[in-house]
Amino acid sequence: MVHLEVITYYSLSSQERTWINFMKRYFAAVGSWGFGPELKGLSIYQFNPDTADMTLLSTDYEKASIGALRYAGNQVLYFTEERGEKEGQVGGGGTLYAVRIDPDGRMQEISRSDSLAAEPAYLAMDREERYLLAAHHADSGHVTQIVRAADGSLHAQAMLDDAALVLFQILPDGRIGKALDAVSHHGDVKDPDHAFSHLHSINASPDGHLFLACDAGLDRMDLYRIDDAAGRLVNIGTMHAEAGTAPRYAAFHPSGKWFFINHERRTEATAYSFDESGRMAQISSCSLMPEGYQFDAHGNKVEAADLTISRDGAHLYASVRGAETISVLSVDENGCISLQQIISSGGINPRGLCLSPDGKFLLAAHMQSGTVEALPVHADGSLGEARTVASGHCPGVICIIEKQEETEHE
């Protein structure tokens, strides 16, 4: 679907009237996620913002497991290959890519970089788009090495993957530059419940100056800022969630006063206040499911998956795998949240969510049913019945791309 907007202005030099046509094209980028042979990488669809209909245009990177997508104002799409191993070797970490989308929906790669750690799961950018931050989930595997101490004695030492935040430079043309800094989170091998760090997400605050990292393995959230002069990440605050709840994804309120977390192992959301100094405080929490609902029909525990917020900050949308539902939460004037609606997501395993640019539709990518479902958003924030708008292989993450092209004529 192409939208045209025409602006008229007068040339100061010739006084001739010039017409500028701004043509907007909408695409949907859908990443296939998982670790099986059925992956189909990254697909670009034409997206109709009036109906949410999607038409497949191209598919590339067919062996990649796409962990995260981030479309920037520089009209570059950044994404991760969420692997623990480089091709042709054991270990070595994942890969970051930067591509431009042609008018016909084809991808043109402009750069790729080693992510430097295992399983890059999420991406964030600062407001000026000078930096790209990659959060690495890392694996739960380990190796045991024999080490010799200073006194000559031999000991067994457990070695774990680094769950790291890596800070990359973004070059003026949108390419990914060098890695500037890395911060690793570490568990305790003597604490089975918190042996492994799993950095599941990283999100920028509305002003783009703070970054919130959710560590599902260590049950904590950390706020970071970037020291521009040194090119370093600085931890300014840590908040511990209740043990065993596994904070997964976050969404900042557009006011910049609060953020919200979904918990993978408790299927609930929590609201927090924060400030520029890094102080965080819990405001309220809310279950994403009816009271007592913890298991699906097969006895498997249901899990929270994705979380997104409306542009006005009045509603949160949270997907729940196993239950195959989407919960709608209301946000009041104090940042407190309450459950407004639970509705079928329309497919199986709703892993990824995004809102259309105008907020008229919520799109849900379903891994097991292989579908993208569109749910209309009503005026009160509630959702209507899901409708299948695309099918693919293990769609796990989705974002909408809005491209603006300019032409002139007299």
CB atoms within 10 A of CB 104: 10
Q: How many CA atoms lie within 13 A of 377 on its CB side?
A: 26
* Per-residue pLDDT in tens (0 to 9) along the chain, 410 residues: 444 343 343 344 445 555 555 678 999 999 999 866 666 799 999 999 999 999 999 999 988 899 999 999 889 999 999 987 777 777 778 999 999 999 999 999 999 999 999 999 999 999 999 999 999 998 877 778 899 999 999 998 877 788 899 999 999 999 999 999 999 998 887 787 888 899 999 999 999 999 999 999 999 999 999 999 999 999 999 999 999 999 999 999 999 999 999 999 999 999 999 999 999 999 999 999 988 777 665 667 899 999 999 999 999 999 999 999 999 999 999 999 999 999 999 999 999 999 999 999 999 999 999 999 999 999 999 999 999 999 989 999 999 999 876 655 55
Tokens for 337, please give them.
Answer: 């949240």
Q: In the prediction, which pLDDT does 402 show?
A: 92
Tokens for 407, please give them.
Answer: 């032409």
**Burial of 278 from C-beta contacts in 10 A (0-12 / 13-18 / 19+):** middle
Tokens for 260, please give them.
Answer: 């919200």
List, in order of start, the domains of the chain with CATH numbers.
65-240 (2.130.10.10)
- Closest by CA to 352, choosing from 24, 28, 25, 26, is 28
- Interstrand relation of 210-215 and 199-204 (parallel, antiparallel or unpaired): antiparallel
C-alpha pair distances (Å), 172 with each of 95, 129, 130, 177: 21, 9, 8, 10
Those residues whose C-beta lies under 8 Å from the C-beta of residue 51, and which sit 6 or more positions away, are: none
Report the SS3 class of residue 194: helix
Single-letter amino acid, residue 161 = D
CB 401 within 8 A of CB 27: yes
Q: Integer distance in angstroms from the first to the last C-alpha of the chain? A: 26
Q: In the prediction, which pLDDT does 59 show?
A: 95
Report the SS3 class of residue 207: coil
- Interstrand relation of 220-227 and 232-240 (parallel, antiparallel or unpaired): antiparallel
Rg of the chain on CA atoms, in Å: 22
The strands making up 350-355's β-sheet, listed across from edge to edge, are 350-355, 361-366, 371-376, 387-391
Q: In the prediction, which pLDDT does 8 show?
A: 40
Q: In the prediction, which pLDDT does 181 show?
A: 97
Give phi and psi for 194, each to the nearest 5. -135, 40
Single-letter amino acid, residue 135 = A
DSSP 164-202: EEEEEEE-TTS-EEEEEEEEEE---TT-GGGSS--EEEE
Q: In the prediction, which pLDDT does 13 show?
A: 45
pTM: 0.91
